[in-house]
Amino acid sequence: MAGGIVVITGFLLHLVVGMVRLHLRDNVRDGYTPRTSRSRMETDLYREFLGSEGDPAMTTVLMLARDNGSMHRLNYLKEAVQEMIYISKNLTVVTPSGSSVGYENFCGHYCDANAVVGYFLQSLYEKTENPAAKSLHLTYPIGDLRGIKLHLERNFFGVETTEDYNITNIKYVRLISMSFMAEMKTVIDTERLGAWEMAVYAYCSNYTNKENNLLELLVLGAEIVDTEMNKDGQKMAPYFATGFCIMFVFVCLTVFCSSLYFDRLHWNTIAIAVSCALVPILAITTTFGLGSLIGNRTNSLMLIMPFLIMGIGVNDSFLTVHAWLRQPLRSSKAVRLGKVLEEVGPSITTTTLTNVVTFLIGWLTPTEEISIFCLGCAMALGFAYVYTVIIFCPILYYCSPEESKEKSESCVRQKTRPMFRAILHILSRALSDRRVAIFLFLGTLVYWYFGVMGTISMTAKLDTEKILPKDTPILRPNNFMENIVWTEYYPVSVIVNNPIDIRDSNQMSELNAFVDEFENLPTCRGKNFTMFWLRDYQQYYYGVAVNDFEYYSDDYTDEVEFGYKKLNGFLGNPLYKHHKAFLNLDFNQT
């Protein structure tokens, strides 16, 4: 029996080595969204539509003038376009697998998503040299480039306009947002994009730190948020050490005082106090080690688990120590240990089982990050119970005094017992006083009131600003995104899984009526802001600005019947190429 316990103990302790493979990583993109939510259902449909394993990911680069001036000044706008081209065309990173990847490796249909800014710069040069050019209307939010609409509201933010202008109605641009979207077809694509995104973050940080550069480049993306959260989690080590020291001191004082009260104070009491504090530490490290060995991800919430286990996991050892100290010395060690387990065994088993089951229920929650945290807590509480039985109880056995006849009270106990009795007497008198009872009852009512009102008014919201550390550099771009970008432009995607035949006028009328319903909603900014590929295709199909681009593979004819004939040429145009992301094409079908 003893040999089996030794083997089990050794096996559990060896699990701690799994912490070498500990990898801290959060899934900010969708880890805090329940798998059963409507948004996850919509995400699954979107993935099915795109035929990919992951969602389209987006890395956002915000460009601001270092002098707080307008970003539409020619030299600043030129610098912004040059940086956009460098990031999208030239910036590469070597992945852990040894391959070199750049944005073009996974941009898919989104490679030219920021081309509008480049066309606006080119047009602004032309309009500056020839303000009378009637084919160029550089107006915000939608410009007109020889019949082609330029949706500037997707890239220019914090814009001030003027009615009196010759070149453009833009008076001031606070920032330019460059969105680098990527198609995540496989898990490998996600890892590659993460490495590239961190390279963009490093490049933009180095660029901004050079004071002679015109711009300030701020980057925000899911991988960057994950990294910053992990950095914040690593900063919790000093707090954990402080918490452990406080717990250790408290445990030692408690054990010493209890030993003094029961006249069991010996040198081996130190070993008992240390082992009592060691139980939750072993439970925590074993949990992290086992989780890493079986491939479980460790997120930032898991770093809260040690604080929880240090408070709850030590409770079993406390109860065991107190019961042990009350056992008479005239009994043998084995008998005393049996009496202790008989007395506290049901209590610690029931409380541990209750806590473990509660966290296992939380493990079943559809929210991934919460599920990981609850599973870790359940494992740690279970290990704390096991270590109490197989490690702490044997230590109690070997560190306890030998069997002897009951001796008379020691001098120390004779002096301290009246003090303890006085404290208990004062506490009992206070609790039995009617005024104290009324005060506690009123305090309970106030506590219930705020508890109920807070629960009723509580709203569930994941705020990136709340989960990020206060000193992180990405708080500033996050504030720009929340307070400027998303308040001015926040698109909603509508997926139609039942395709129509665009040659059928009746189906086209039904689809247009469907789109009109969305555009007539009170919160919609209107049809001019709708990204609807079919409208742009109709404009393209009937020959708008045919001779101004070289991207047309079809000869222009004065078409009357609308159809698919020019679809390839339409999707080859840089200004319309982004529409490929909104289409699921099968050219084998007629």
What digits encode the pLDDT tens for the residues 10-60? 767 667 777 777 777 777 777 777 888 888 888 888 888 877 766 677 899
Kindly list the distances between the CA atom of residue 404 and the CA atoms of 129, 147, 320, 330, in Å, as whole numbers in the listed order: 107, 103, 21, 5
At 4 the pLDDT is 61
Q: Are 200 and 59 in contact (CB under 8 A)?
A: yes
CA distance linking residue 540 with residue 149, whole number of Å = 11
pLDDT at 496 over 70: yes
Q: Please write the tens of the pLDDT for every residue from 331-358.
A: 788 888 888 888 888 888 999 999 999 9
At 549 the pLDDT is 45
Name which residue leads in pLDDT, 333 or 411: 333
At 3 the pLDDT is 60
At 577 the pLDDT is 77
Name which residue leads in pLDDT, 175 or 553: 175
pLDDT at 318 over 90: no
Which domains are seen in the chain, by residue range? 1-25+227-406 (1.20.1640.10), 46-220 (no CATH), 408-458 (no CATH), 505-582 (no CATH)
Query: Of 130, 131, 118, nearest to 169 (Cα)?
Result: 131
pLDDT at 582 over 70: yes
Confidence of residue 401 (pLDDT cuts 50, 70, 90): low
At 136 the pLDDT is 85
> How many Å separate Cα 181 from the centre of its chain?
19
Residue with tokens 């009872």: 437
At 64 the pLDDT is 95
pLDDT at 112 over 50: yes
Q: Please write the tens of the pLDDT for every residue from 258-274.
A: 777 777 767 777 888 88
Q: At what angle do helices 269-293 and 315-325 cross, to 10 degrees?
A: 150
Confidence of residue 400 (pLDDT cuts 50, 70, 90): confident
Q: Are 125 and 522 in contact (CB under 8 A)?
A: no
pLDDT at 548 over 50: no
Q: Please write the tens of the pLDDT for every residue from 199-253.
A: 999 999 999 999 899 999 999 988 888 888 777 777 777 888 888 888 888 888 8
CA distance linking residue 561 with residue 537, whole number of Å = 13
Tokens of 571: 């999707």
Q: Please write the tens of the pLDDT for every residue from 270-308.
A: 888 888 888 888 899 899 988 888 888 888 888 888 888
Confidence of residue 66 (pLDDT cuts 50, 70, 90): very high
Question: What string of H, E and C letters represents the secondary structure of 527-546?
Answer: HHHCCCHHHHHHHHHCCCCH
What is the pTM assigned to this prediction?
A: 0.75
At 566 the pLDDT is 87
Q: Among 140-154, 185-199, 495-509, 547-561, which is the least confidently predicted range?
A: 547-561
CA distance linking residue 44 with residue 46, whole number of Å = 5
- Radius of gyration from C-alpha coordinates of the chain: 34
Q: Among 172-186, 226-240, 512-526, which is the least confidently predicted range?
A: 226-240
Q: What is the mean pLDDT of residues 94-120?
A: 83
CA distance linking residue 88 with residue 560, whole number of Å = 40
Tell me what the pLDDT averaged over the chain comes to.
83
At 158 the pLDDT is 92
Name which residue leads in pLDDT, 183 or 385: 385
Q: H or E stretch including 398?
A: helix 393-399
Q: Please write the tens of the pLDDT for every residue from 435-452.
A: 889 999 999 999 999 999
Residue with tokens 């960057």: 224
Determine the 3-state secondary structure of 138 from DSSP. strand
pLDDT at 583 over 90: no
Name which residue leads in pLDDT, 1 or 254: 254
At 555 the pLDDT is 46
Q: Are 9 and 393 in contact (CB under 8 A)?
A: no
At 475 the pLDDT is 87
Name which residue leads in pLDDT, 110 or 464: 110
